[in-house]
A and B are shown apart, each in its own frame.
Chain A
Amino acid sequence: MEIRKPSIKNIPYNEWKDNETLESLINELNENGVNLIVGNLDSLINWGRSNSLWSLTFATSCCGIEFMACGCARYDFARFGFEVTRNSPRQADLIMCAGTITHKMAPVLKRLYDEMATPKYVIAVGGCAISGGPFKKSYHVVKGIDEFLPVDVYIPGCPPRPEAILYGMMQLQRKVKVEKFFGGVNHKEDNPNPLVISDIPKNFINEMKKTAGEVKDFVKKEINDTFK
């Protein structure tokens, strides 16, 4: 059985960014061929999952407001199957980490993620959640939630526009569409470095992280010079 490319209604495949990551993911999952029945079952289940991703109401700062705007009259993500946001992690499929995560908040977020029922997905919304963003130099901010959570999609921006958030959520839909239910992707914890679909390549993010410290030192030096 040939592997179908994940399709979103009315949006041609080539207009999507970062298809390479997706294809590499498909290839990795289907190295040793696909059984016809299992394949069809998978695509059915993935159809169900990808079209009903209920997000956890989790917002720490600015991005949260844009996420709210996403659910409201103008951009209405209920159209695409993100029908409601559940307040209880048990019933949520997706955690939109919208906003800065501080050292005090990190355990809470981790706990919330652990309490969610599988399958569960993580989207890092905004610069703060991706790499610490403008607060990278702070003494109390986590430099990107992917330090302790397997992130599925990054949505850059400060804050990302609702269109961007919708785009990111659809990217997640595409990723879910290629999952193998009878494979290992259900067990995120077993999968140490999950693949990432996003506009910003992973290594760039790492680069930013690495330089975070250096920038700090540089500025410190700068200031010391001027103090003298």
Chain B
Amino acid sequence: MYFTLFITVIITAVFLVVAAYIMAKLLGPRTYAPVKGEPFECGIPTRGTSWLTMHVGYYLFALLFLMFDVETVFLYPWAVVVNKFGVMALASIGFFMLVLVFGLAYAWRKGALEWK
């Protein structure tokens, strides 16, 4: 049942946008000017292309995120059962948490958290 609803929600979202787009396309006025389609840059024609290789700093954080996010995902199922297992849960996940914290500390030490 919930899966059906889930699909419904997604479809609703798509419908909302597409409907509005179609309406705007149908009703909205249209004019043409030669420079209209050019990217806006404070009224000056763009020099070169915008799609250049970006600074590596961004990707560094993306990698960090990937690493930690994947690991935190494992915490979800564990979190649910903590109050059933009590101390055992703590012991069982303690090592894992240690790795996680160590990873962060390592990244920090290596200066991966500094924005360059």
- A93 CB to closest chain B CB (Å) equals 12
- Interface size of A by CB at 8 A reads 15
- A6 CB to closest chain B CB (Å) equals 20
Q: Does A118 contact B (CB under 8 A)?
A: yes
**A101-143 residues at the B interface, CB under 8 angstroms:** 108-109, 111-112, 114-115, 118-119
Chief secondary structure at chain A's binding surface:
helix
In the complex, per-residue mask of B33-59: 1 if CB is within 8 Å of any chain A CB, else 0? 111101010111100000000000000
Chief secondary structure at chain B's binding surface:
loop
With A115-B35, A115-B38 as contacts: A108 and B29 at CB distance below 8 Å:
no
Closest to A105 in B: B43
Q: Are B43 and A189 in contact (CB under 8 A)?
A: no
Closest to B40 in A: A115
Q: Are B29 and A186 in contact (CB under 8 A)?
A: yes
Closest to B45 in A: A111
Q: Are A114 and B40 in contact (CB under 8 A)?
A: no
In the complex, per-residue mask of B11-41: 1 if CB is within 8 Å of any chain A CB, else 0? 0000000000000000011111111101010
| B contact residues around A114 at 8 Å (CB) | 33-36
The one of B28, B32, B36 in contact with A115, judged by C-beta atoms closer than 8 angstroms, is B36
In the complex, per-residue mask of A170-195: 1 if CB is within 8 Å of any chain B CB, else 0? 00000000000000001111000000
| B contact residues around A88 at 8 Å (CB) | 40
Q: Are A119 and B36 in contact (CB under 8 A)?
A: no
Q: Are A111 and B31 in contact (CB under 8 A)?
A: no
Closest to B32 in A: A189
For the complex, what is the distance from the CA of A128 to the CA of B37, rounded to whole Å? 30
For the complex, what is the distance from the CA of A189 to the CA of B31, rounded to whole Å? 8
- A residues touching B (Cβ–Cβ < 8 Å)? 88-90, 108-109, 111-112, 114-115, 118-119, 186-189
Closest 10 CB pairs of A and B: A186-B29, A108-B43, A114-B33, A118-B29, A112-B43, A118-B31, A114-B35, A111-B43, A114-B36, A111-B35
